[in-house]
Amino acid sequence: MLKQMTIKNLTVFQEETLHFAPGLNVIIGENGSGKSHLLKAAYAAMAASAEEARRPGGNGPTKTVLQKTYAEKFINVFRPESLGRLVRKRQGRERCELGFVFDDHKKSCQFGFASASKTEVQIETLPGAWETQAPVFLPTRELLTLYPGFVPMYESRYLEFEETWRDTCLLLGAPALRGPGEKKAAELLRPLQEAMGGNVILDTNGRFYLKRPGQGTMEMSLVAEGLRKLAMLARLIGTGSLLDKGYLFWDEPESNLNPRLVKMVARVILELCNNGIQVFVATHSLFLLRELSIISCDARFKKMTQRYLALTRETSASDIVVEQGSTIDELNTLVLLDEELAQSDRYMDSEEMG
């Protein structure tokens, strides 16, 4: 599990040390506050290591390999014109430093790159072992309708898509789980399948369908977008990518979902945490935030650890500062709540004036 992440001069962040829980981690902030950047930085570092671990005949981590691997993954995930574009913009030369501490200290690492760098990474702390569990990154849009032929196209052409899309498509195309884990997956899948009215299947033609009892199959392009996001989550659970001792990074899970489905997603997220998945969520939805807080009070989630990180912009500068706590109540600055209360006041004023 990822315990701590240190950042210095990464995009909108000056210098922060972020502490994470083994269970649920929620990053809260307005648009442009850097939520996705934190998710992508942690994901890119883990995914780069996991990809090297899967290479046939590969050896342990070396500085030469990691310099190339980190640079390629960060460029492909963030899509800057050069690596140095990820460094916080200030006058003169600056340097970005990133550090990751895991409960298995052999996987901990630290590296950095300068603002003038195109692809050069300097390794400060070399990990002693690769990450063996491939992390999962769910973007704001669903990928099931994009899936047919996307991976071969991405790997043979220059496409301006974040590599998280390609990585997730690879996991979506994995075979369905068989054996001991199948029963556990079925329990997690049940509420999702009830909401979708069926189960997700990958046909031999490389396309995803929703199979509904008594109604046959329906092309994913004909399924409501909100349900397609649930279908993507269901597929990753069914293949075992999200089942036990892994990582899930989910950018704005509430996007294109109605409140009823947001409530279901919140419960599935907590169930994943209970099953050993370390979850990182970025959101600006007060509804999702409250739902996670409400459901986590259930007795079955009492042992689940939580961490909340609120991102706010300093009034005197463009830098983002991070406030952290183990509960929402520990956060003093929560812009989402401020805006919600302000809207309520405006609504009451308009009612009185009407």
DSSP string, 256-282: T--HHHHHHHHHHHHHHHHTT-EEEEE
**Per residue in 149-205, pLDDT tens?**
999 999 999 888 999 999 999 999 999 888 888 888 998 899 999 999 999 999 999
Instruction: State residue 93's pLDDT score.
Output: 79
Q: pTM of the full predicted structure? A: 0.92
- The secondary structure element, H or E, covering residue 150 is helix 150-156
Q: Would the CA dihedral through 227, 232, 234, 235 be positive or negative?
A: positive
Per DSSP, 242 falls in state: T
| Distance in angstroms (rounded) separating the CA atoms of residues 311 and 36 | 11
Instruction: State residue 332's pLDDT score.
Output: 78
State mean pLDDT over 204-230: 93
More confident residue, 199 or 319: 199
| Distance in angstroms (rounded) separating the CA atoms of residues 94 and 47 | 26
Residue 335's closest CA among 259, 280, 284, 282? 284
| Distance in angstroms (rounded) separating the CA atoms of residues 253 and 27 | 12
Percentage of the chain with pLDDT > 90? 72
- In our burial notation (b when 16+ CB lie closer than 10 A, e otherwise), range 271-306 reads bbbebebbbbbbbbbbbbbebbbebbeeeebeebeb
| Distance in angstroms (rounded) separating the CA atoms of residues 45 and 87 | 16
Instruction: State residue 349's pLDDT score.
Output: 63
Residue 100's closest CA among 3, 9, 235, 195? 3
Give start-end residues of each CATH 3.40.50.300 domain in the chain: 1-135+246-354
Cβ contact 284:30 at 8 Å: yes
State mean pLDDT over 79-102: 90
Q: Which of the following CATH numbers is that of domain 1-135+246-354: 1.10.150.240, 3.30.70.100, 1.20.1560.10, 3.40.50.300?
A: 3.40.50.300
**Per residue in 234-247, pLDDT tens?**
999 999 999 878 99
Coil, helix or strand for 124? strand
DSSP string, 161-228: S-HHHHHHHHHHTSPPP-STHHHHHHHHHHHHHHHHTSEEEE-TTS-EEEEETTTEEEEGGGS-HHHH
